[in-house]
Structure 1
């Protein structure tokens, strides 16, 4: 398969309309239809069920939509990493590190200081991300390395080193009745009237259904909690940055959170290797 064919198919599969897909791609509709028919002949399967009025994905088409997106992401990632490697060869080395804004800031600060003291250290550009974005930046090649948090972020397909494991706390409005407790359990929070858990965006940017407010990042979340619109369960290190109008209470049965440094397994960057070594020594 050619990447051009995949891009054409994905546009049609997402729009489920050849006219809109052609407009989105900036091409005429007839060559788009021919390209999809050629792709189906090459694969020996039907990808789209078409009538004069409707267009729907077959089971095979649904599989190719998922696999095709992953394949194009890999191609784009290869493009970005190749260009970054070329910059390093021409005397402009650097690393892009993705991390969730407001998370593990003390660990990150120590890591950057430790790496800067290494012989041959290069500039590290820190990409501050919203919830869950750092994994996507690492997968698509915009980041060389990332700080991820299990069990919330997937580390599948990456090489990793564990850096820190911590318990979680419930973040509540200061003065709330539960802030006087020594500890809580998850059941105490799920039964809490008026303070639902927030809804975080999925990788495609959509929000799941539910009663809680939508939240994009930690700063927005803290504002929602302070206003009495939500509560949240976060790693214990968040205590260092809590506002005065918020309070934290340990949650005994919340899963522990492990911060890992993650990078593509095929990376051959000496600068990245030095950063990982500095991280594991901390």
Structure 2
């Protein structure tokens, strides 16, 4: 075999199809070929053959099979992480292309950007940003997508959002470009009738050790951190539990905008500042997004 033939063979072996990655990802998540086949809507034998063919193509064992079941090898764990990232990238490309394509059709809608933000984000900041951007020539339509705590990164990576308001130190900006748009302190949100509500300031130690008022717990990476506080699913539930004297929470100062009369906000003297960033995928080349970022930096 000459050099050109060898190069072609390597190129074929190094090329994986999204169908193969999707099959492998489902099997790796279920660790059971029968359940994976049911989830994929196909028979088990062709799924098993597809995984075997994938292992031959990459040249390593991805799954250990025995009488006790299926488990991932070290190489399989690597491919699972890479497969999820690749499938997210394909989904993101499809979603963003469809949004951009609508503006290319005669009489079609104008360019649209999807902005993700957590429900408790700064309403004042968002309104200022949207109003200033809407006044720009050729401004895109902005669709606001509320999301749960720390979900902005996932929405950016899979293409459901083009840009997001993210908050450090709570959100990770790894893999994104960003611009700082707001820095603020933090507050403890307490029941208005609680004795600590009368204090002018509190510390993080104060709010983390209130026997009758445990800190609320938000999900992180699919699970809740340990602790006695209630598991919170949305902002309305949190507001009600605080008003009832069942929990407390720590938020950026701008959260005062959604407080009820039954709530009290007390500044935290030793909490690190919260920085709000406008963040977007590092590879983005959207002119509409560039205009929004420019507007944000001028606010």
Look at both structures and tell me which one has the larger radius of gyration over its CA atoms.
2
For the criterion TM > 0.5, the same-fold answer is: yes
Residue matched to 2:170: 152
CA separation in 2, counterparts of 1:64 and 1:45? Answer: 11
Residue matched to 1:137: 155
Shift of 1:2: 1.4
Unmatched segments (≥5 aa) in structure 1: none
| 1:50 matches 2:65 | yes
| 1:103 matches 2:118 | no
| 1:226 matches 2:243 | yes
CA separation in 2, counterparts of 1:251 and 1:53? Answer: 53
Shift of 1:267: 2.1
Task: Provide the secondary structure at the position in 1 that maps to 2:103.
Answer: helix
TM-superposition CA deviations, 1:38-78 (whole Å, max 9, x none): 11122222211111331111222222222211111111101
CA separation in 2, counterparts of 1:139 and 1:220? Answer: 28
Shift of 1:138: 1.4
Task: Provide the secondary structure at the position in 1 that maps to 2:275.
Answer: strand
CA contact (8 A) 2:100 2:112 kept: no
Residue matched to 2:141: 123
Residue matched to 1:238: 255
CA contact (8 A) 2:203 2:271 kept: yes
For normalisation by structure 1, the TM-score amounts to 0.95
Shift of 1:203: 4.1
For normalisation by structure 2, the TM-score amounts to 0.90
Q: How is 1:24-43 mapped onto 2 (pairs within 5 angstroms)?
A: 24-43=39-58
Q: How is 1:175-186 mapped onto 2 (pairs within 5 angstroms)?
A: 175-186=193-204
CA separation in 1, counterparts of 2:39 and 2:269? Answer: 50
Give the paired residue count: 281
| 1:281 matches 2:281 | no
CA separation in 2, counterparts of 1:254 and 1:102? Answer: 18
Residue matched to 1:209: 226
Residue matched to 1:22: 37
Task: Provide the secondary structure at the position in 2 that maps to 1:146.
Answer: strand
Choose which of 218, 243, 247 in structure 1 pairs with 2:264: 247
CA separation in 1, counterparts of 2:199 and 2:259? Answer: 18
Runs (4+) of structure 1 moved beyond 6 Å? none
| 1:63 matches 2:63 | no
CA contact (8 A) 1:131 1:216 kept: no
Shift of 1:218: 2.1
Residue matched to 1:75: 90
